[in-house]
């Protein structure tokens, strides 16, 4: 496939900007074309394409981006024709209302993501596919010169994640992982207090999230005509269709593929990609990770236990407060979740000094990515950060499956002296591009 590159997009944008200026000198042009107070010129907009228009793509990620004037959603791709058509309708209806044009049609639909990625009209992509598609879609997007916002967890395997980092760097792309808690005040506050030693030496980190994935053996069902099941499976092993994995558009719950091996990593990578992410951040481990992971043994280790080179243990354990994190220090404890931030009373009004560690501050995860695109900088949850967090989750799942302690080298990204465990860091993808829809 001969993909377009970033330079051709920049040339197109420059041309549009010059053309608008030239026209302005000889004709009256509406403000919504040229920009101005309350309006954004088309040449200043970042055009987005969505790969994956399921519950997340048509839900939170649709709402967050479509209301930002500096972006324009121009394309979408999905292997389910009904979900794709609904996304196109939603987007066109929104822009039609804005423009006062009931017949507005401006969103191209692609049943195959390669068509969207080949489009010169798309500057950046939102990847909201099931986890097993994240790596392939992201790497192809980078090769096509598109910047990337990819839902968490970043990848299904450690080797996939490293390949995504390499593609991002090689093609000079701006990549944001959808671990949006980094852009929330309470999580930022907790991480800064911990990393600056305000609760003393960290004695233990407790992360409360769900467990590893299941086999999810499901009986075969008749495949809906609207779904290209071969493309949905993509690089994963082939199996018979079940609505358990790819529910129809009428299903209003969260799809259950995320709890099934080959498609997701269970609660460990679902909520774990959020909570382990904050733990890594607060421990200063964004470019590293633990050196040991020990599954429950019914004796010395009642729960999954990680150990960092500093000696700090991090455990996966339910401490009765839902999906949350507890940092236990020699001088107190901090608990944080999406519902609360509990800090020692003496720290309630504590300010972080100018000469202390000041963590990257973002108040809007989505605009942070857009700002990074314009400035060609790294956003708050860059691809390397997302990869390191996903790695923590994934090596925990490997320890659960093998049921034995594993020593991890975060620099080499390999287990020490364990060939079987290292073989689980990646898998041979299925050759699916020429398959039929069944």
| Tens of pLDDT, residues 101-114 | 666 678 999 999 99
| Tens of pLDDT, residues 179-202 | 999 999 999 999 999 999 999 999
- Of the candidates 184, 182, 180, the residue with the CA atom closest to the CA atom of residue 64: 180
Counting every residue written for the chain, the total comes to 438
On whether the CB atoms of residues 286 and 385 are closer than 8 A, the answer is yes
| Cα–Cα dist 176/150, whole Å | 6
- Per-residue confidence (pLDDT) for residue 372, from 0 to 100: 98
| Cα–Cα dist 380/368, whole Å | 7
| pLDDT-flagged residues of the chain (< 70) | 1-43, 101-104, 435-438
- Per-residue confidence (pLDDT) for residue 24, from 0 to 100: 29
> Could you tell me the residue ranges of all domains in the chain?
6-180, 183-212+267-360+386-425
Q: At the topology level of CATH, where does 6-180 sit?
A: Rossmann fold (3.40.50)
Top CATH class, 183-212+267-360+386-425: alpha beta
Is the pTM value of this prediction over 0.85? yes
- Per-residue confidence (pLDDT) for residue 255, from 0 to 100: 83
Q: Can you give the chain as a three-state secondary structure string? A: CCCCCHHHHHHHHHHHHHHHHHHHCCCCCCHHHHCECCECCHHHCEEEEEECCCHHHHCHHHHHHHCCCCEEEEEEECCEHHHHHHHHHHHHHHHHHHHCCCCCCCCEEECCHHHHHCCCCCCEEEECCCHHHHHHHHHHHHHCCCEEEECCCCCCCHHHHHHHHHHHHHCCCCEEECCHHHHCHHHHHHHHHHHCCCCCCEEEEEEECCCCCECCCCCCCCCCCCECHHHHHCCCCCCCCCCCCCCCCCCCCCCHHHHECCCCCHHHHHCHHHHHHHHHHHCCCCCCCCCEEECCCCCCCCCCEEECCCCCEEEECCCCCCCEEEEEECCEEEEEECCCEECCHHHCCCCCCCCCCCCCCCCCHHHHHHHHHHHCCCCCCCHHHHHHHHHHHHHHHHHHHHCCCEEEECCCCEECCCHHHHHHHCCCCCCCCCCCCC
- Per-residue confidence (pLDDT) for residue 38, from 0 to 100: 44
């Amino acid at each position: 496939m001969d993909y377009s590159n970033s330079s051709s997009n920049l040339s197109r944008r420059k041309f549009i900007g010059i053309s608008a200026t030239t026209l302005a000198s000889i004709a009256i042009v509406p403000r919504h074309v040229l920009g101005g107070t309350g309006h954004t010129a088309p040449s200043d907009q970042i055009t987005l394409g969505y790969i994956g228009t399921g519950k997340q793509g048509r839900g939170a990620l649709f709402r967050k981006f479509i209301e930002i004037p500096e972006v324009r959603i121009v394309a979408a791709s999905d292997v389910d024709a009904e979900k794709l058509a609904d996304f196109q309708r939603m987007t066109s209806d929104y822009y039609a209302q804005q423009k006062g044009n009931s017949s507005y049609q401006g969103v191209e639909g692609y049943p195959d993501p390669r068509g969207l990625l080949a489009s010169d009209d798309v500057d950046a992509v939102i990847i909201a596919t099931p986890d097993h598609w994240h790596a392939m879609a992201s790497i192809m997007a980078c090769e096509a010169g598109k910047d990337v916002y990819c839902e968490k967890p970043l990848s299904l395997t450690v080797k996939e994640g490293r390949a995504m980092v390499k593609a991002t760097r090689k093609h000079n792309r701006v990549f944001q992982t959808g671990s949006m808690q980094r852009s929330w005040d309470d999580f930022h506050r907790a991480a800064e207090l911990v990393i600056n030693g305000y609760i003393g030496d960290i004695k233990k980190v407790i992360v409360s999230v769900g467990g590893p994935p299941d086999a999810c053996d499901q009986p075969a069902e008749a495949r809906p005509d609207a779904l290209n099941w071969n493309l949905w499976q993509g690089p994963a092993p082939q199996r018979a269709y079940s609505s358990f994995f790819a529910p129809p558009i009428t299903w209003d719950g969260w799809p259950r593929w995320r709890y099934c091996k080959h498609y997701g990593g269970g609660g460990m990578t679902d909520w774990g990609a959020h909570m382990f992410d904050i733990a890594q951040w607060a421990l200063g481990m964004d470019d590293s990770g633990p050196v040991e992971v020990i599954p429950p043994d019914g004796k010395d280790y009642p729960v999954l236990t990680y150990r960092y080179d500093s000696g700090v243990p991090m455990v996966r354990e339910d401490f009765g407060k839902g999906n949350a994190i507890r940092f236990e220090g020699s001088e107190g404890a901090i608990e944080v979740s999406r519902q609360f931030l509990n800090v020692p009373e003496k720290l309630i009004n504590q300010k972080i000094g100018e000469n202390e560690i000041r963590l990257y501050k973002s108040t809007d995860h989505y605009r942070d990515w857009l700002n990074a695109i314009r400035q060609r900088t790294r956003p708050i949850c860059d691809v390397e950060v997302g990869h390191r967090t996903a790695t923590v989750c994934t090596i925990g799942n490997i320890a659960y499956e093998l049921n034995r302690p594993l020593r991890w080298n975060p620099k080499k990204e390999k287990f020490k002296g364990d060939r079987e465990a290292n073989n689980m860091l990646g898998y041979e993808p299925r050759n699916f591009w020429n398959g039929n829809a069944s």
